[in-house]
A = this chain, B = another copy of it.
Amino acid sequence: MTAVDERTDVLEAARRAKEASVALAPLARAPKDAALHAMADALEARLDEILAANADDVARAQANGTPANLVDRLTLTASRVADMAAGLRAAAALPDPVGEVVRGYTLPNGLEVRQVRVPLGVVGIIYEARPNVTVDAAGLCLKSGNAALLRGSSSAYASNTALVAVLRDAVEASGLPADSVVLVPGESRESVKHLMRARGLVDVLIPRGGADLIRSVVEESTVPVIETGAGNCHVYVDAETDVAMAVSILLNSKTQRTSVCNAAETLLVHRDAVEAFLPAGITAMTGAGVTLHGDEAVVAAAAELGVEAVPATEDDWYAEYYSLDIAVRVVDSLDDAVDHIRRYGSSHTEAIVTTSQAAAKRFVARVDSAAVMVNASTRFTDGGEFGFGAEIGISTQKLHARGPMGLPEMTSTKYVVVGEGHVRA
């Protein structure tokens, strides 16, 4: 395929999604939920076809020497497909955000003003390895009245092609446009670039994946982007703290799952908490297999316990390890902790562990992140944990949506103003 052909194909795919979005926008909840159930049923009915396509991707990945953990993420099984189907049925059970009246009032002149939620239109999702994102994203887009324009990883192209074919057939059979779910054609990096320039056809792009992918989309896209995912989360242990609670929250934030954006990557300890907390904290972390990257005070405290901590460099404060590593620093004050977070953090989630109401209030007011936890694990920043029922990603930007994005975050609004011949004086 030539570069020109590919650009034409991507824009044509976007145009078809745009057309479908026009039909989806005014739909009531019932036909959308029916389509979601049809999609779930079809995934289960056509399991063999999906697994066969996935086997091709897996064989190709193995032949290319892809690491085992990535092959695992790529691999579909009957149980994983059943989970996808369950996700679609769960989406059907959620309230429809479209049509919600966000604000409504009558002006002194009698004009009735309502601000009503409407779909965004075409939502472009750019994502890596895991094929379950194909189904999750398609379902959440459809539930919120948006057409889904999906650009998955080339390593999962056969799987995604099969999944989208199944979903499209089901959507069409239920009476909605097949183009409610469109896979961006082509496996080259160029197809992502064409997508990023499809302003007017694509209403928003949501990149889900590694930092490099997200950075390049943010830098190059003329389509509005919602930045997701990067997470250098901090746990700050305050001067006045409950040591057992601090240890428990630290361990959970760092080790409950390391490969996720809401895992803690840095521990900050108030100087006055060093004596009471730090030995317990170091012992618990090394006991859980965590490697410490510490400043001088931390390296010394670890040595006293017979533990070897790696001296931290400037890079450690920025690091998103996504592994059993943590950077540890002693700070002179809560404000110094806030300054550290502001300088090195990614504005995702920070936690304070404190018994002081004043400290909690000051930390919450001054930390500029999507989520601030008081005496709770950073791992709670999650659409599921927040009770949203679904999550399309975690926004780390400030415009439109910040933090876990549920169905309402996949909508825009429209002002509807009703008069009786009103004109402006």
Chain B residues contacting A366 (CB-CB under 8 Å) are 22, 25-26
A193 to B415, CA, bound (A): 33
Give the size range of A's interface with the partner.
Answer: 35 or more
Interface-facing stretch out of A76-84, A312-320, A396-404? A396-404
C-beta contact mask, A409-423 vs B, less than 8 Å → 1, else 0? Answer: 000111111111111
- B121→A417 contact, CB < 8 A: no
Minimum CB–CB distance from A309 to chain B (whole Å) comes to 24
Asked whether any CB of chain B lies closer than 8 Å to the CB of A261, the reply is no
Minimum CB–CB distance from A335 to chain B (whole Å) comes to 11
Interface of A toward B, CB cutoff 8 Å: 22, 25-26, 105, 107, 111, 113, 115, 118, 120-121, 199, 203-204, 218-219, 222, 224-226, 242, 245, 248-249, 251-252, 256, 342, 360, 364-366, 368-377, 379-381, 385-387, 397-400, 402-404, 412-424
Known contacts A26-B365, A423-B252; is A376 also within 8 Å of B111 by CB?
A: yes
Chain B residues contacting A420 (CB-CB under 8 Å) are 375
Chain B residues contacting A400 (CB-CB under 8 Å) are 399-400
Q: Name the residue among A120, A371, A403, A424 with the largest chain B CB count within 10 angstroms.
A: A424
Q: Name the residue among A199, A381, A385, A423 with the largest chain B CB count within 10 angstroms.
A: A423
Known contacts A376-B111, A387-B105, A415-B372; is A421 also within 8 Å of B245 by CB?
A: yes
Beta-carbon nearest neighbor of A404 in chain B: B415
- A224→B342 contact, CB < 8 A: no
Interface of A is mostly: mixed
- A375→B419 contact, CB < 8 A: yes
A24 to B226, CA, bound (A): 25
Chain B residues contacting A418 (CB-CB under 8 Å) are 360, 373-376
Nearest 7 pairs between A and B by C-beta?
A376-B419, A252-B423, A398-B412, A245-B421, A26-B365, A376-B422, A400-B400
